[in-house]
Amino acid sequence: MNPEDAARKLGVAPASLPPAPPAPRFAETWARMQHEPPCSACGQLSRTSGMIHDPAHGPRWFDRCRECFLATPPTLRVPPTRFLQELPEVAADARLRLHTYTDEGGWESE
């Protein structure tokens, strides 16, 4: 689910969110997450920060606690099978050791 849909599902009004830079860099998003702002939906400490683009209000920070994030998970931009096929190469490029685990049947509904 994209951030705008997640905000709608959680009942978050874009006007209630703080303004965000038009295209925040990872360092800006990471710095925001380190301050653990309140969840945009429920007020608990947030664990993720991102932004939404609202036509009427511009870019806005959208922070979610663990529970609200799990209730509105992001959609992968590629199918899980392709993601898992490309992951070892990306991990090797980043010099990361990688172990992946799936069930015997692979991913459900694919």
Quote the percentage of the chain above a pLDDT of 90.
Answer: 60
In terms of Cα–Cα distance, which of 60, 8, 91, 1 is closest to 49?
Answer: 60
Q: Is 110's pLDDT higher than 50?
A: no
pLDDT at 40: 97
Residue 43 pLDDT class (50, 70, 90 cuts): very high
Burial 69-89 (b: 16+ CB within 10 A, else e): beebeeeeeeeeeeeeeeeee
Among 11-25, 38-52, 88-102, name the one with the lowest average pLDDT: 88-102
Q: Is 62's pLDDT higher than 50?
A: yes
Quote the percentage of the chain above a pLDDT of 70.
Answer: 92
Q: What's the mean pLDDT in 49-65?
A: 95
In terms of Cα–Cα distance, which of 56, 55, 65 is closest to 6?
Answer: 65
Q: What's the mean pLDDT in 32-48?
A: 95
pLDDT, averaged across the chain: 88
Q: What's the mean pLDDT in 42-50?
A: 94
